[in-house]
Amino acid sequence: MAHQNRDQPLFKLALLSLSSILAIAPSLGPAIPEVAKHLPGVSAANIEMLVTIPNLGIMIFVLVSGFFASHLGEKRMIMLGLLVATVAGLAPLVTNNYFVILSSRFLLGAGIGLVNPLAYSLLNILYTSNESATLLGYANAITSLCGAVTAAVAGYLALINWHATFLIYLLVLLPLGLFALAIPRDFLGDAQAPAEKAAPVKTKTWVGWPVLLLAVGLFLFYALLFALYIKVPTALIENRITTPGAAGLIVSSFTIAAMVVSLGYGQIYRHLGHYTILISMLGVGITMMLLAESRTAGLDYLISACSGVFFASTLPYSFMLGAQISPAHAENLTSSILLIGINLGVFLSPYLFNLMKLIHPDLSANTSLLIAGMGIVLLGLAFFFASTTARKEAPVQ
């Protein structure tokens, strides 16, 4: 069945539409000040956790998605994930209860987590290497674009009503409808047959300290980076730039710049080589420090876009490095561990900054951005020297 349908435009569109929801969970960020106003008894860290707790759901359900796929099949699992994400994403429209909203945000991440592993891997399974590479480029662009657009729209919906912000999750209906209409139940057909017939490969259960340290590094990087999502809205109020729409556009400028530059990552790496990670992280850190000192929305947009330019190379380089230092036949486990580090960092980001505030009660959002930028600069230096050592000691595969 897969071979009869996979070349149809609607079939490809349905597969690519799965990528549209992968980066929309944090798009609530620009509305955080408005949400906080209407939930006055909830601490700032717990309000900010509404932005990041979907990543905990994503992390857990990425790990168990194989179980669901084996029992339900790929199409049913994807449909279940999309249905859960739709209902959970829209649930806060009709409640003011913090714990109900928090639970629905977790379930939003759970739904996305069921879809996440297959959003890209299906393109590799169903298409030849050249065509899948092209489609993967489209998928990456769709992910970034939808993340940027929903963040901008969320900021303006918050001006209408804080509940209205959650209307951005209507976007999930797009892949839900397309997948239901265009993808047959047995859409993989015999596309997996070669893999199933191949001799089993023994998988390593230990990835080594270099991979674990890389995961810790990504955990710290994303915990600091997410100050952009959870601290910029508050910083705008501190700086008397009070509209949530401005916060949404700042986050969007970061995401769009990263999307455009990431399309040229191959050329960037060819020119910068192993200095890519050093220049990228130094750039992100310095621009975040500049963002902390900016006092006008226009300058914020420019600095945020520059930060996105530098950020674009960090993730592909990190996963490339992970593949280089991973033991033979442990590549999938390495990728899973790195994804856990990233999602755990995003989830715990509000608590990291809350811990800083406990140490220094007068810590402002601008100072939090400054500290995050300084931390990323130091992390970039550590990444560069540690990756150089790890690469020299990497096992021969």
The series of mean pLDDT values per 10 residues for the chain, 397 residues long, is 70 90 85 86 86 90 84 90 96 94 96 85 74 73 85 86 93 93 74 42 63 92 89 76 70 85 81 90 95 85 92 84 76 75 88 84 85 95 84 58
The pLDDT, as a whole number, for residue 374 is 95
The pLDDT of residue 193 is 40
Residue 190 and residue 301 in one domain:
no
Give per-residue burial for 83-116: e unless 16+ CB within 10 Å, then b: ebbbebbbbbeeeeebeebbbbbbbbbbbbbbbb
Identify the pLDDT of residue 391. Answer: 67
Quote the pTM value.
0.73
Work out the number of other CB atoms within 10 angstroms of the CB of residue 1.
Answer: 14
Which among 202, 259, 22 is positioned nearest to 121, based on CA atoms? Answer: 22
Last residue of a domain, one of 173, 198, 223: 198
Whole-angstrom Cα distance, residue 301 to residue 263?
A: 21
Q: Which of 136, 108, 107, 112 is nearest to 122 (CA)?
A: 136
Q: Which of 151, 178, 198 is the last residue of a domain?
A: 198
Residues 14 and 152 in one domain: yes
Closest-CA residue to 236 (of 47, 41, 34, 39): 34
Query: Are residues 126 and 255 part of one domain?
Result: no
Which tokens in the block code for residue 295?
């006092």
Report the CATH number at residue 375: 1.20.1250.20
Instruction: State the residue range of the domain holding 111.
Output: 1-198
| pLDDT at position 92 | 94
Predicted pLDDT at 209: 84
Is the domain of 270 the same as that of 393? Answer: yes
CA nearest 379: which of 314, 293, 306, 292? 314
